[in-house]
């Protein structure tokens, strides 16, 4: 497999994201997303996977899930799941995730937003792959939105924005499958 | 987006697949898989998505789900989901799926197995992309296994086998995210 996932992180953002009516909201956690993204993070050799939500009840749910698989009965039942879910970290906010990475890496990560709509400043996957390669060991954090996607404000404040996955006139993938495609385009190449 | 998904079909196989102990079994349906794979099928412009299970109760469940989104209240609530789930067809067996395609296309589809283990005859994604391109309008059916994967017999009877998605020593993706990566490698190229 191609590029190195070292120094790369992903964040699954539950706030601030849009709801159906394009109101800013905190979305509910989907446990299957945590499993799928953790397994992707492990597959592509990423350094960590932040679940970002300000809702403490949702953080407790995520902790119960990861504890079961990392330290509880799940760890012996399915050791490969333990490997994946060991990469999960919780954060109240994007800023807290960035601080966590800074503590681990000694420098602040650049953020890379993903979006289903096209932003003027969007980079192609080829360009972004090259940026990551040239970044050497600088940390990057790729942001995935739940609900109806990351708010414009978050996208516009990001250091980079990726172009949408272009379907045949259809652009409505789940965050699980979109994250899989995006990580493979950035890191799975030959 | 690259290659054409016309004349391409996918099948989500619930039988015959392995369970944890490598016994041949019929796995239970996961409704989120049907949503995710239908949305992928629509994104890549595929001709259809077969849900293969011999269990009639499971077929009834899948039909209730697709009816809700294609003809029921879901169709007005979320028209993009209707577009995706309209591609779903049910089949008792792989053979029945192949007969369905033959009726629609006038010729039998070649089968392409996917597997997490490496088979001697496995093709690279580059090779398979070329096979599909040269196939013109001949139909192909890509098989995805649920549970612990397609049985060796199904893989060895297939016309083609794809190489596994190589992770950094980790090969345990969900069928949802694996299908996303595989379809993007075959059809998402520039």
pLDDT tens track for B155-179: 999 999 999 998 778 889 999 999 9
User: Mind telling me how many Å the CA of B11 is from chain A's nearest CA?
Assistant: 17
Q: What is the pLDDT of residue A10?
A: 98
Q: At what angle do helices B175-187 and B125-134 cross, to 10 degrees?
A: 60
Q: What is the pLDDT of residue B189?
A: 73
CA dihedral sign of residues B156, B32, A37, A169: positive
Q: What is the pLDDT of residue B162?
A: 97
Q: How many CB atoms lie within 10 A of CB B128?
A: 21
Q: Which of B46, B148, B167 to mutate to test the interface with A (most CBs of A within 10 A)?
A: B167
- Interface contacts A/B by beta carbons within 8 Å: 113
Which A residues 27-46 touch B at CB under 8 Å? 32, 35-36, 39-40, 42-45
Binary contact (B188, A178; C-beta < 8 A) = no
Cα separations in angstroms, A4 against A16, A132, B166: 29, 9, 13
Per the CB < 8 A criterion, the answer to whether B122 and B161 are in contact is yes
Question: Quick one: which of A85, A57, A91, A53 has its CA closest to A71?
Answer: A85
Mean pLDDT on B32-55: 97
Binary contact (B173, A83; C-beta < 8 A) = no
B93 touching A, CB under 8 A? no
Q: Which DSSP letter does residue B123 get?
A: B
* Bond from prior residue into B16 cis (ω within 30 degrees of 0): yes
User: Mind telling me how many Å the CA of B84 is from chain A's nearest CA?
Assistant: 9
Q: Output the pTM of the full model.
A: 0.96
Helix (H), strand (E) at residue B39: helix B31-43
Helix (H), strand (E) at residue B163: none
Q: pLDDT above 70 covers what percent of chain B?
A: 98
B73 touching A, CB under 8 A? no
pLDDT tens track for B2-20: 567 789 999 999 999 999 9
At B122, give phi and psi (nearest 5°).
Answer: -60, 140
Long-range contacts of B20-27 (CB under 8 A, 24+ apart): B20/B148, B22/B148, B24/B151, B25/B147, B26/B53, B26/B54, B26/B55, B27/B146, B27/B147
pLDDT tens track for B106-153: 999 999 999 998 999 999 999 999 999 999 899 999 999 999 999 999
Q: What is the pLDDT of residue B6?
A: 80
Cα separations in angstroms, B27 against B33, B58, B113, B141: 13, 10, 18, 20
Residues in chain B: 190
Q: How many helices (H) and strands (E) does chain A have?
A: 8, 8
- pLDDT means per 10 residues, chain A with 190 residues, are 80 96 95 97 96 96 93 90 94 98 97 94 96 93 96 97 88 95 89
- Residue of chain A whose Cα is closest to the Cα of B169: A43
Contact residues, chain A, for B83 at CB < 8 Å: 170
Mean pLDDT on B60-73: 92
User: Mind telling me how many Å the CA of B28 is from chain A's nearest CA?
Assistant: 16
Q: What is the pLDDT of residue B94?
A: 98
Alpha helices, DSSP H only, in chain A?
Answer: 31-43, 56-70, 74-77, 79-85, 94-105, 125-134, 152-157, 175-187
Per the CB < 8 A criterion, the answer to whether A115 and A145 are in contact is yes
pLDDT tens track for B85-105: 999 999 999 999 999 999 999
Q: What is the pLDDT of residue B104?
A: 96
């Amino acid at each position: 497999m191609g590029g190195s996932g070292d120094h790369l992180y992903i964040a699954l953002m539950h706030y601030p994201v849009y709801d159906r009516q394009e109101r800013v909201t905190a979305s509910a956690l989907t446990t299957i997303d945590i499993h799928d993204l953790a397994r992707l993070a492990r597959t592509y050799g990423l350094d960590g996977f932040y679940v970002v939500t300000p809702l403490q009840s949702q953080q407790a749910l995520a902790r119960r899930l990861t504890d079961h698989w990392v330290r509880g009965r799940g760890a012996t039942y399915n050791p490969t799941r333990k490997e994946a879910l060991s990469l999960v970290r919780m954060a109240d906010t994007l800023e807290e995730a960035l601080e966590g990475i800074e503590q681990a890496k000694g420098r602040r990560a650049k953020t890379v937003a993903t979006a289903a709509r096209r932003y003027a400043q969007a980079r192609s996957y080829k360009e972004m792959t090259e940026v990551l390669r040239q970044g050497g060991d600088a940390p990057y954090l790729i942001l995935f939105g739940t609900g109806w996607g990351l708010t414009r404000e978050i996208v516009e404040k990001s250091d980079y924005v990726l172009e949408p996955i272009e379907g045949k006139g259809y652009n409505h993938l789940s965050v699980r499958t979109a994250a899989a495609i995006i990580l493979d385009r950035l890191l799975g190449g030959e």
